[in-house]
Amino acid sequence: MHLMYFQKLVPVLIRSCEILYQMFGTTRYLNNPQRSIHRKMTPMKKAKAYIGDEGATFVNSFTVTPLCCPSRSSILTGRYPHNHEVRNNSLNGNCSSLQWQKGPEAEAFPTYLNKLKYQTFFSGKYLNQYGSKAAGSVGHIPPGWDQWHALVGNSQYYNYTLSANGKEEKHGDSYEDDYLTDLILNRSLHFLDDRSPQHPFFLMLSPPACHSPWTAAPQYQKEFKDVQAPRDGSFNKPGKDKHWLLRQPPNPMPNSSITFLDNAYRKRWQTLLSVDDMVEKLVKKLDSIKELNNTYIFYTSDNGYHTGQFSLPIDKRQLYEFDIRIPLMVRGPGIKAKQVLQAPVLNIDLAPTILDIAGVNLSSVNVDGQSFLAQMAPSLRNGTARPYFLVEYTGEGQPTSDPTCPKLGPGVSQCFPDCVCEDAYNNTYACVRTLDSKMNMQYCEFADSESYVEVYNLTSDPHQLENIVKKVDPSILQIMNQRLIKLQSCVSDSCRDYKQK
């Protein structure tokens, strides 16, 4: 999750794993990867009341790649993965690598805010490999940040290490002292107290919720005892006519898998209650220091998540709507309350939107995304919505067979004991997602020995149950293929050129 507060004078961002909540002082941004905001029953009721009801909710918000590190890299740079070159969560995949640090990280949006004298604050999970020895250890502080409190490695709630302004800080298992979501909140409140009133601020808060190991705060560990994963759409359906990875899970799922994913779903909701408290306390803090009306708040996430869709137990990484859709709510100056906006918005649009609000000339910034300020505050900007966009992912596998699933051989990863694997080297794909008044479709090509293609009409088949590649008009396939080829090689301005059909 990510939460950002951005103030025309002061920005703040809060981001958490699989939920992104960002806040800037005068600008605030919040994102949630689990899509729970779209459920009728959501643990984020305070976030909806304080952000969504007071501003705009984007119902067609997407990540351009459904995995933590490459998605977060896209948020920071405003670029597609083929341009920032972070492909997965490993150092070999450029996650927080020296190559990333020397290139895209040095051009990320916080560097522009810093040049404008914004006081910048980061706390929480940054990138999965951050803090490792090969990535510069805890002494590496990415450029642009004045206050830096970053988690070393992947999500934890207790027993973790932070880089506290470049110094190692170890934490234990005390709820009062160490629970990471609350620690992030408390340090952000101290930052707001200690900031200089002469300069604007930006906060980016990235709590671990609702990522595994799903450790809820003690007071919330008995909540949602009757909640289970939604049984609608593609839940427990076979992945017929799909890429081989979707055809291998047994269907129907065994009861053990359903029990496991229900428990995970419930625990994830429990962890989010602390994030909901964070939102409330930060909004009230901004109000008490007379900055709430000057601040944009964004709430969003780095990726979606599945729990039983197409009989896959739990994970992300897939091309389908449940993994690429993310929640996005924004409030701030010029944004009317209770707006529900249909225009497609991407996570690569966050950086240019933030910089647009801060007054940066976007023609001078190397980004693939576009500002969506005009969508939520048309009185402040003119602009048009994009008709289509790219989703790309590079699959990960292991060079040897997984011991829990030897029959599938080498090249797979993220395998469960009942031999369901969630990823593979050849789970590498690129999709063009078209979403406008004329067409609501997805066209995907896999980089595998089959050259597999999947096509979905999301108007008639919103759950993507039927691959219509053999039924659709060949002229439409040709248009989609041409769009995809163009997007896969686009850079900066060319990623926003929609003149082609």
φ and ψ at 323, to 5 degrees? -100, -20
Sequence-ordered list of residues with C-beta below 8 angstroms from that of 414, at least 6 positions apart, any chain: 315, 317, 396, 421, 422, 423
CA distance linking residue 495 with residue 370, whole number of Å: 9
Structure tokens at 310: 């197409």
Q: What separation, in Å, do the N-terminal and C-terminal C-alpha atoms of the chain show?
A: 35
> Do residues 20 and 211 touch, judged by C-beta distance below 8 A?
no
Query: For the chain, how long is the longest CA-to-CA vector?
Result: 64
Do you know the residue count of the chain? 501
Closest CA to 275 of 332, 337, 230, 214: 214
Structure tokens at 278: 């964070």
Structure tokens at 449: 């020995």
Burial of residue 365 (number of CB atoms within 10 Å: 0-12, 13-18, 19+): middle
φ and ψ at 27, to 5 degrees? -135, 130
> Do residues 183 and 175 touch, judged by C-beta distance below 8 A?
no
CA distance linking residue 501 with residue 485, whole number of Å: 13
Helix (H) or strand (E) holding 481: helix 474-488
Check if 68 is active-site.
yes
Structure tokens at 443: 């066209």
Closest CA to 390 of 32, 74, 107: 74
By three-state DSSP, how is residue 123 classified? strand
CA distance linking residue 51 with residue 176, whole number of Å: 27
Closest CA to 44 of 237, 210, 233: 210
In Å, what is the CA distance from 177 to each residue of 132, 183, 197, 203, 377?
24, 7, 29, 21, 41
Q: Of 68, 69, 95, 444, which one is the catalytic site residue?
A: 68
Sequence-ordered list of residues with C-beta below 8 angstroms from that of 487, at least 6 positions apart, any chain: 80, 389, 390, 430, 432, 495
> β-pairing, 421-424 with 161-164?
unpaired
List residues with catalytic annotation: 68
